[in-house]
């Protein structure tokens, strides 16, 4: 059985939280794509962990973790991440972590533009090159030529020294992970594929030109994992109980001023001290589009607790574009002109962090969840009600509440 976790919106939906929840029932967890810029946050009894490149399953003993073909691995940052987790008592070895030999190796010293250009061409290194001395030298020379074409000044001696160090650090972890996953799937193992970013950041179907350089859709996850012929058994899409967007580009449901500050404080959106994250009411138009792109079977709704004390909860049910009401997600150019059309539902004004079943939730919270299901067209089967590992509700609200 192969399950994948994907983002429905602009990314930062809480996929790490949900991946941690599902990982406990898996044999293998594979991170399919992304760089060290990805941030999956997991909170457990040991503390709070920011996983930039490692799969979320690394925090469970007995789960084998894969860094898949579609990843852009920055070895120095990966080593720092592994060291942080080991210092916290997490066991990491070639037995429970395997790195695809086809994953891209990102050398230090590249600008963001140079890195993107090199990764989009054939002139790049793969992690498997570290285990083949002759091939590594050939590929380093090709990379240096490409680097010069993009205006860089390659330092071959420094690059060679880095690669020798990376071989010593990760040589034992590098494997044919595609074959490993293929055999595991045929043996009936439970596999979780962990995606990066969200549907609206997809390079083909997202909001151009503000997307990711990679595909962020469920259909791509088996390819990024290294098992392109495998069918997904289940797609779990993740969305927040409100909207959040990190980065530039049109964001129709955006709320500003004091109300935005209140939203960010409730959702702890600025806890990393970075640029304030853009926030807004739940965007049904964007979420419905994301659900369709991802082919979602089940939805995990995160941060429901963050809207608990709002007297009225805003929901963007449509856009106004050039004086017309629009309920389908528009083109990127039209999206720039879109204005939100809001409806409001009553809040429930109480703490729900102790709820562990849908029946425990206040009536207004259940009404809110059901309305979101109706708006996006998919069942909500997981709800997080707090940051702690056990602060979630599982199973369909319709199955439990009649």
Residues annotated as catalytic are 12, 40
Q: Of 2, 107, 108, 98, whose CA–CA distance to 54 is shortest?
A: 98
Contact of 281 with 340, CB cutoff 8 Å = yes
Q: How far apart are CA 56 and CA 39, in angstroms?
A: 11
Q: Which residues contact 180 (CB under 8 A, 6 or more apart)?
A: 66, 98
CA distance 135 to 38: 30
The DSSP secondary-structure symbol of 374 reads H
- Cβ atoms 380, 299 nearer than 8 A: yes
Number of H helices, E strands in the chain: 12, 21
Omega within 30 of 0 (cis) for the link into 209: yes
Tell me the sheet residues that pair with 30.
66, 193
Distance CA 6, CA 291 (A): 10
């Amino acid at each position: 059985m192969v399950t994948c976790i994907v983002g429905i919106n602009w990314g930062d939906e809480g996929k790490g939280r949900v991946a941690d929840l599902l990982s406990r029932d898996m044999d293998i967890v594979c991170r399919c794509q992304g760089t060290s810029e990805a941030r999956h946050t997991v909170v457990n009894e040991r503390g709070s962990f920011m996983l930039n490149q490692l799969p979320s399953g690394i925090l469970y003993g007995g789960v084998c973790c894969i860094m898949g073909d579609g990843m852009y691995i920055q070895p120095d940052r990966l080593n720092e991440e592994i060291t942080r987790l080991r210092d916290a008592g997490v066991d990491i070895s070639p037995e429970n972590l395997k790195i695809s030999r086809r994953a891209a190796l990102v050398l230090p010293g590249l600008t963001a533009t140079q890195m993107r250009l090199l990764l989009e061409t054939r002139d790049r290194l793969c992690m498997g090159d570290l285990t083949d001395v002759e091939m590594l030298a050939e590929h380093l020379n090709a990379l240096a030529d490409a680097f010069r074409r993009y205006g860089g000044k390659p330092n071959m001696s420094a690059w060679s020294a880095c690669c020798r160090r990376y071989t010593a650090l990760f040589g034992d972890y590098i494997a044919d992970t595609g074959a490993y996953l293929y055999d595991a799937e045929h043996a009936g193992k439970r596999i979780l594929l962990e995606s990066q970013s969200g549907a609206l950041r997809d390079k083909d179907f997202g909001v151009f030109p503000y997307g990711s350089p990679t595909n962020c859709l469920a259909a791509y996850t088996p390819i990024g994992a290294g098992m392109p012929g495998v069918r997904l058994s289940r797609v779990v899409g993740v969305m927040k109980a409100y909207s959040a967007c990190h980065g530039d580009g049109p964001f129709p449901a955006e709320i500003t001023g004091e109300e935005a500050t209140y939203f960010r404080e409730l959702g702890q959106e600025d806890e990393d001290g970075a640029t304030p994250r853009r926030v807004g009411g739940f965007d049904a138009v964007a979420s419905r589009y994301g659900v369709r792109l991802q082919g979602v079977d089940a939805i995990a709704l995160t941060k429901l607790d963050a809207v608990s004390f709002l007297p009225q909860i805003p929901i963007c049910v449509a856009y106004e574009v050039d004086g017309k009401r629009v309920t389908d997600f528009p083109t990127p150019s039209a999206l720039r002109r879109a204005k939100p059309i809001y409806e409001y539902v009553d809040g429930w004004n109480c703490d729900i962090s102790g709820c562990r079943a849908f029946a425990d939730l206040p009536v207004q919270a259940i009404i809110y969840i059901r309305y979101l299901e109706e708006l996006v067209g998919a069942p909500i089967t997981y709800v997080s009600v707090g940051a702690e590992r056990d602060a979630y509700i599982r199973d369909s609200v319709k199955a439990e509440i009649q």
